[in-house]
Amino acid sequence: QGAERFKQLAEKYTNGKVKVEVYPNSQLYKDKEEVEALQLGAVQMLAPSLAKFGPLGVKEFEVFDLPYILPDKAALGRITKGPIGKSLLAKLEPKGITGLAYWDNGFKIMTANKPMHKVADFQGLKMRIQSSKVLEAEMRALGAIPQVLAFSEVYQAMQTGVVDGNENTPSNVYTQKMHEVQKH
């Protein structure tokens, strides 16, 4: 909805001189390809997960993968809208990327077909993660087995049992209908 609203406003305020095409849900590129496509000019704008910038060489963005480091959305807003957030976006410029803003998708949650209330509940679960050393370490610390999968492959992987669960944002769980294949 946010991307569609951006499209509407960009076309309106440029009197139609700018045409915006929205391709959601990894329609054009998989996870590892999308940032490269941006750098090469194949696409002009992305709304990627911040975890994509660690492998690009801007490791400071991995701080956002740390669980429970921020107590609430107000603290997140103070960080992303303040000097720290601006300095992080500036670190993308040498990579050929201009960071415009942070797009809040909500704090991550875990899904699986069994309740996960304590650390022991994660023991042996194959949990899908994005490519992130921090997320990998988190899952291993929980006793889970991290599985790096592209976003576009998560639903089917959960449906077929390739993975037992995943960590994702509530908006992604809802829009990708992960609740259809995950009970908890």
Give the 3-state secondary structure of residue 131: coil
What are the residue ranges of helices labelled H in the chain?
2-13, 31-40, 73-81, 83-90, 133-142, 154-160, 170-175
Residue given tokens 């899908």 in the structure block: 128
Total of domains in the chain:
2
**Cα–Cα distance measured from residue 129 to residue 96, given in angstroms and rounded to the nearest whole number:** 26
Are 171 and 140 found together in one domain? yes
Model pLDDT, residue 51: 87
Average pLDDT along the chain, 184 residues, taken 10 residues at a time: 92 95 88 88 91 90 90 94 97 95 89 96 96 93 95 94 94 91 96
Model pLDDT, residue 31: 77
Are 64 and 124 found together in one domain? no
Stated pTM of the model: 0.82
Which residues form the domain of 90?
Answer: 48-104
